[in-house]
Amino acid sequence: MPAKKSTTSTNTTSSAVPSSRLGRLMRLGGMATGVAGNMLVAGAQQLAQGKRPKLGDLLLTPANALKITQQLSQMRGAAMKVGQLISMDAGDLLPPEIAAVLARLRSDAHAMPERQLRAVLTANWGAQWQQRFASFSFTPIAAASIGQVHRATTQDGRDLAIKIQYPGVRKSISSDVNNVASLLRLSGLLPKTLDIAPLLLLAKRQLREEADYEAEGAHLQRFAHLLADTPEFVVPTLHADFTTKNVLAMSFVAGVPVESLADAPQAERDRMLSLLVGLMFRELFEFGWMQTDPNFANYRYDTLSQRLILLDFGATRSFTATFAKTYKQLMRATLAPDRAAMAQAGLAIGYFDGLTLPKHQSAVLDLFEIALEPLKFEGAFDFGNTDMASRLREAGLALGLDRDFWHIPPIDALFLHRKLGGLFLLAARLKARVNVRQLALPYLLAST
């Protein structure tokens, strides 16, 4: 019996994913043409007003940011991911109205049209795939940069969430990231002083890992095992008989977006963020495995059971025992405080090297001091009432713009930073109060 087609309505925008290199390059060319056209219109308007337009002002406009957002949302894949990363990591360096438009990339992907979706599923499951389902909704319940998620019920009664990868994503990763970054740089939409090389490296690596759904399924099972003793968390069950390199099938788990809990009772918000911060310490110091993608959509919340639902393990990364041990030494030294021990740990991790000038080493240690303020605070740290983010941004930007200090931290540290930054953003968004020190001390006091 063929699967029933869902008639559920949605506001999700549908457009075919360009899968060939030529098709994706033409999208980028169209984006560049649109940006140039917007520049001409804006320049003419300023000339008509008796103003002498500046190139930078013509490029840095909400209209151009909107044009780029629309095109990247239609391309999906690595092209959209690099826009997401830039909007999250460089948003504070861009004009607010442009950062706001680019931020839409984090939740504004287009969905595949049904015809293309059917072709992908036939390629992965065979021509008779619909006979395996009692129902299959062709309306996605979520659409992101790598794939979209559909709900389905199998003939034997399993309620599934099925993530389907957009065609051509895996093949286009390197070229997409390089082309989009070059276009954004040449267009002037990014400040010349902003070094996005670490973000590009991060984007390519993260995309390659996320594009392997069989590997993600293995990560899903691993975390389900690691958290089997923690009922506060829910990890969906993998359904391997429907999982391929391009399709990931797991049990459907209902929940609401975590950021929708901004008006929930303070105690509930505090508890939720405390669980996530505690999990981060377990991932680093116990598991040696961490889900490093900071997207809020990776967490949902069951308001009835008050359990956190963990989704999307594509960006899972392993950390060596040596890295975790050295990071623990850094945290201990910051708590002491012992600047010499902090410098030793920072050197061992790779935040700087033996050739780094003393003033730059000191600036890096200052960043550690600011970033670990929640750890040093006695009691519940109020993430909704702190200027820590702005001080970190100013200090980090000052160091990054100093051309005498040109050092990129190791990739493990970059991934950990993304995890920490994502949790901080969520805690700030929900105005949560978390006793970070209490959560960390059991690990910092341990002898190993």
Closest CA to 317 of 417, 405, 179: 417
Give the residue ranges of DSSP H helices in 336-372. 339-349, 358-371
DSSP conformation letters of 129-175: GGGGEEEE-SS-SEE-SSEEEEEEEETT--EEEEEEEPTTTTTTHHH
Structure tokens at 117: 């979706």
Quickly tell me which residue has 């901004």 as its tokens. 262
Which is the catalytic residue, given 176, 293, 312, 412? 293
β-bridge mates for residue 308, sequence order: 233, 301
Q: Confirm if 410 and 350 have CB atoms less than 8 A apart.
A: yes
Q: Confirm if 258 and 426 have CB atoms less than 8 A apart.
A: yes
Q: In degrees rounded to 5, what are phi and psi of residue 54?
A: -100, 140
Q: Are strands 233-234 and 307-310 parallel, antiparallel or unpaired?
A: parallel
Q: Which residues fall within 8 angstroms of residue 88, CB to CB, at 6 or more apart?
A: 106, 294, 421
Q: Confirm if 302 and 234 have CB atoms less than 8 A apart.
A: yes
Residue type at 297 in one-letter notation:
A
Structure tokens at 429: 């968004």
Q: Are strands 307-310 and 299-302 parallel, antiparallel or unpaired?
A: antiparallel
Which helix (H) or strand (E) element contains residue 67?
helix 62-75
Structure tokens at 184: 């954004």
Identify whether 156 is a catalytic site residue: no
Q: Which residues fall within 8 angstroms of residue 417, CB to CB, at 6 or more apart?
A: 409
Which residues are tagged catalytic? 293
